[in-house]
A and B are shown apart, each in its own frame.
Chain A
């Protein structure tokens, strides 16, 4: 046995088999293996928060030093004082911007009165083009619950669509961003009787921060600059959440007209998100019953 364990090929093959078993078992919905990573958070979360705080402090301090560079060259003795003052100003400006953003966020509660809104800070973003979910700091301990097969809309402070919740832990949740290939949402032109489309993430567009718009008929071709909002079809997302603007339209193939959409939310710059939890039944915005019952639920996934 000991001899086997020193055989690198044997160790590699056994390791890979165990990992493959973990992947397959972990892919089963409700698998207990999904809680396997929870203890990792106890170690990594404090470290990550510390690294984030340190990084922000260095960034603020560096910005203060570079802003004060011109003044430092004129007056050497005042340099430190100016840099410190600039540092304080930057911090306060940042605080003011944050305050305004949070003030705007309160409007979300007024607009979607049938939804409970939970604030969460973004903890980690994508590691590379495929390891791409977001982790945010709110979970079941904050009152967020996702039933099997259900999901929750996620918006930024300006009420623009960011993505949806795909997993909820005790203190954090996992968000599938709008740009991910697995994301689908039914959208419409923000106008009376605006045409509806399907907005999806696309592997060739996501690196440019863009989404693909499909389901366009020759009669309902949107124009560049048209604002697209959620249509409410499918019942997953409430109607009227701004998604983005049409950037270009490709009508070369009449049977497959597509458009490119630039989302309003910029995931790289998001620090705070808001999770929308329906209070009881999803918002009945169309007057025809909830989308969950009308067979169009697959529009949003």
Chain B
């Protein structure tokens, strides 16, 4: 179990990550832009956090990140008769799904390690982008009856690939940050050890 001091440290570090990365992403959009795409710092952080520190940490951190994402930069959707308005909850949905995905990505039978952590970010990014394009395709072509004129090749080369590469580039320092700077000492969530048998096999290895 964690001592009070460790708990306070954990909450402070989570709060710092939450405020820092959400604001950096929307305040300096020109930073690290590649083919018009920028690394999704919030998304990467949530996936890694869920993967490394488990389901509950990931869900809570993801939900808070999603709420801030909705506040800072919500997606705009067409609701009726061409009226467009910011959509509340889509950021929350995205981040909770990312957390659920990260926490379930090869965490049962395989030791949590750097390689799988990076793979979880890649897989989550590809899944997010694929689902996003599919939803927009369905909403524009089928619901709105207009054309979504981006081909499969364009989606892959102009959206999925650059976003994956940028998220991958962000995942490496973020992994080191989460492992060595907290929120948990030595990058290990003690509750994660307690919650399943054979927990010692699930420690982070790098």
A: which residues have CB within 8 A of B?
A: 8, 11-12, 15-16, 19-20, 22-23, 26-27, 29, 33-34, 36-37, 40-41, 43-44, 47-48, 51-52, 55, 124-135, 149, 166-167, 174, 176, 180-184, 202-204, 206-209, 268-269, 298, 301
**Chain B 181-200 against A: per-residue CB contact (8 Å), 1 yes, 0 no?**
00000000000000000000
Q: Known contacts A29-B85, A127-B25, A207-B35; is A268 also within 8 Å of B30 by CB?
A: yes
Question: Is B11 an interface residue when CB atoms closer than 8 A count as contact?
Answer: no
List residues of chain A with CB within 8 A of the CB of B87.
23, 26-27
CB distance from B96 to the nearest CB of A (A): 6
Q: Please tell me if the beta carbons of B59 and A11 are within 8 angstroms of each other in the complex.
A: yes
Q: Are A34 and B88 in contact (CB under 8 A)?
A: yes
Contact A16/B93 with A47-B23, A52-B27, A132-B76 known, Cβ cut-off 8 Å: yes
Q: Is the CB of A22 within 8 A of B23?
A: no
Does the CB pair B73–A132 fall under 8 Å? Answer: yes
Chain B residues bordering chain A, tally (CB within 8 A): 63
Residue of B nearest to A148 (CB): B83
Interface pair B88/A208, CB less than 8 Å apart = no
Q: A16-B96, A23-B88, A127-B25 are in contact. List 7 more A-B contacts (CB 8 A).
A: A34-B88, A48-B23, A52-B27, A167-B86, A182-B78, A203-B150, A207-B36
In the complex, which residue of chain B has the Cβ closest to the Cβ of A212?
Answer: B149
Name the B residues within 8 Å of A301 (CB-CB): 82-84
A contact residues around B89 at 8 Å (CB): 19-20, 22-23, 26
How far is B88's CA from A223's CA once the two chains are assembled, in angstroms? 41
Is residue B142 contacting chain A, with contact meaning CB distance below 8 A?
A: no
Residues of B within 8 A of A22 (CB): 88-89, 92
CB neighbors of A among B26-81 (8 A): 26-30, 33, 35-38, 40, 42-43, 55, 59, 63, 67-81
Q: With a CB–CB cut-off of 8 A, which chain A residues contact B80? A: 29
Q: Choose among B74, B90, B132, B136 the residue with the greatest number of A CB atoms under 10 Å from its CB.
A: B74
Q: In the bound complex, how far is the Cα of B86 from the Cα of A174, in angstroms?
A: 8
Q: With a CB–CB cut-off of 8 A, which chain A residues contact B88?
A: 22-23, 26-27, 33-34, 36-37
The interface of chain B, by Cβ under 8 A from chain A, is 19-20, 22-30, 33, 35-38, 40, 42-43, 55, 59, 63, 67-93, 96-97, 100, 103, 132, 136, 140, 148-150, 154, 158-159, 163
Query: What's the Cα separation between A128 and B128 when bound, in Å?
Result: 12
Are the C-beta atoms of A268 and B76 separated by less than 8 Å? no
Task: Give bound CA distance, A49 to B87, whole Å.
Answer: 24
| A21: nearest chain-B partner, CB-CB | B89
CB pair B93 A132 closer than 8 Å:
no
- Inter-chain CA distance A234–B102, complex, in Å, is 47
Question: Which B residue's beta carbon lies closest to that of A122?
Answer: B27
A129 touches B159 (CB 8 A): yes
- Can you give 23 A-B contacts (C-beta < 8 A)? A8-B103, A15-B63, A22-B92, A23-B87, A33-B88, A37-B67, A44-B19, A44-B23, A55-B24, A127-B69, A131-B73, A132-B75, A132-B76, A166-B84, A174-B86, A176-B76, A203-B148, A207-B37, A207-B159, A208-B36, A209-B36, A268-B29, A301-B84
A16–B97 CB distance below 8 A? yes
A55 to B20, CA, bound (A): 12
Q: A133 and B74 in contact (CB under 8 A), knowing A23-B87, A127-B42, A128-B38?
A: yes
* Contacts A182-B78, A207-B158 given; does A44 touch B73 at CB 8 Å: no
Output the nearest chain B residue to A34 by Cβ-Cβ distance. Answer: B88
Please determine whether A298 and B37 come into contact, CB atoms closer than 8 angstroms.
no
B residues less than 8 Å from A206 (CB atoms)? 36
Q: How far is the CA of A226 from the CA of B43 in the complex (A)?
A: 41
Question: B150: nearest residue on chain A (CB-CB)?
Answer: A204
Residue of B nearest to A48 (CB): B23
Bound complex: CA A23 to CA B89 (Å): 5
In contact, B149 and A203 (Cβ under 8 angstroms): yes
Q: How far is the CA of A204 from the CA of B78 in the complex (A)?
A: 18
Q: Which of chain B's residues have a CB closer than 8 A to the CB of A37?
A: 67, 70-71, 88
Which A residues touch B90, using CB under 8 A?
23, 131
Q: How far is the CB of B140 from chain A (nearest CB, A)?
A: 8
In the bound complex, residues from chain A placing their C-beta under 8 Å from that of B140 are 181, 203
Closest to A128 in B: B40
Q: Which of B40, B63, B75, B83 contacts A149 (CB 8 A)?
A: B83
**Closest CB of chain A to B44's CB: distance in Å?**
11
Q: A166-B86, A182-B84 are in contact. Are A130 and B72 (CB under 8 A)?
A: no
**What are the residues of chain A within 8 A of B163 when measuring CB–CB?**
128-129
Q: Which of A15, A48, A131, A202 is most buried by chain B, counting CB atoms within 10 A of its CB?
A: A131
